[in-house]
A and B are shown apart, each in its own frame.
Chain A
């Protein structure tokens, strides 16, 4: 078991690298799978010192649910933002800063949350507070900043908490 841990320090990364290589080759042949596996074993082994911790994903069904929720939100938010840009006068728009207090503590979870907020049109995550307990989010049009904060906490942070912590 210990030997296995030394040879495969990050099993998830090994699988991910293999999949990425096969997709890059764009032909699922034995050739690309084998070479992908070699890369997937060598790269995590060499970069091991840079990845001291292993984030543990506890809830795989929740990962799938999270991805679907985010994709759906991106589509909906795209239409909302398109309407704001095309039909709303610039003077009527209320850009706003929102402070989201974080319950998440693991760096990976906060990174995923910040990335999700940026990729959903209408909100961009801008900064963390000095100790990483709050997230600063800029909203394109937010008459009610508290509603944005509650939605981020309810839709994304709650699910990420179940996945990572």
Chain B
């Protein structure tokens, strides 16, 4: 029985390893910054999720005790990952997109990042 659980746990660890790798590989392969933003969201879902399921199963089946604080890691990730992704996306829109390069914002006219009043000229450090 122990052997069966070890195989199941190993399966989840391998799944998470594969998706963690694909997420990191995507950072190299994808060329534009907005597409690169997609890579970390992959690593934080199935990548981390696999390790957490393996951890819960390990404590349940091999150590015979219930350990559920892995669920909290999922909860915190689901709270923080979208916020950081939004920050990076907003930075990108602010510095590299114009209202014309984005799709039409409908009845509101502008996207929130472009609707902000700029009081001073921000020096562009990204120019090479």
Contact = CB atoms under 8 A, between A and B. Distances in A.
Contacts of B44: 119
Given A23-B68, A127-B89, A99 B45 contact: no
B17 interface: no
Interface size class of B (residues with CB under 8 A): 35 or more
Nearest to B72: A23
Given A124-B89, A127-B112, A114 B82 contact: yes
B78 A119 contact: yes
A93 B36 CA distance: 13
B1 interface: no
Contact of B86 (A98, A118, A122, A131): A118
A115 B72 CA distance: 17
B111 A129 contact: yes
A86 interface: yes
Nearest to B103: A99
A90 B111 contact: no
A81 interface: yes
Contacts of B8: none
A41 to B, nearest CB: 20
29 contacts: A24-B69, A74-B45, A78-B19, A81-B38, A85-B29, A85-B39, A90-B29, A90-B30, A99-B106, A114-B82, A115-B78, A115-B79, A115-B82, A120-B41, A122-B38, A124-B41, A125-B89, A127-B112, A128-B112, A129-B105, A129-B111, A130-B105, A130-B109, A132-B112, A133-B106, A138-B34, A138-B38, A140-B30, A140-B35
A85 B18 CA distance: 12
B108 A97 contact: no
B102 interface: yes
A127 B107 CA distance: 15
A5 to B, nearest CB: 27
A163 B111 CA distance: 27
Interface string B59-91: 000000001110110010011011001100110
